[in-house]
Structure 1
Amino acid sequence: MGKNLFQKAMDTVNQMTNMQGNVSEQDKQAAQDAIQAAQAECTPEEKQHLEQLQQQLEQNQSLS
């Protein structure tokens, strides 16, 4: 099940990145929630990747 949460987090952040400024607060929260849910059930390698996604999300938020 952890793999599905990890994939969902990746997909959600990628979708937000592709939206380029058309991201609502609800979208941002959904991405944040997906990352946090995935972190609870992931491998150390996946956790490192999720931390990168978190940084990407924060950078994306600062641009909008």
Structure 2
Amino acid sequence: MTVMKPLDKTLVRKLAVVLVIKLAVLVALWWGFVREQRVTVDTNSVAAQFLQSTPIPAKGLPQ
């Protein structure tokens, strides 16, 4: 069984702190910008997209 060196424990602690900070930033960004966004889905529109025989080019792309 290998015992962790003090340097290894410090590294693990620093990595854990960085991961917690990153998670907090991601949650804050989501809470601030994405949380209130809603997407309405029209079932007829979705069915038409899946059932059509020729694909519709994406907006903004040359045909």
Q: Which has the larger radius of gyration?
A: 2
Same fold (TM over 0.5): no
Larger relative contact order (CA 8 Å, sep ≥ 6): 1
TM-score (norm 2): 0.33
Q: TM-score, normalised by structure 1?
A: 0.33
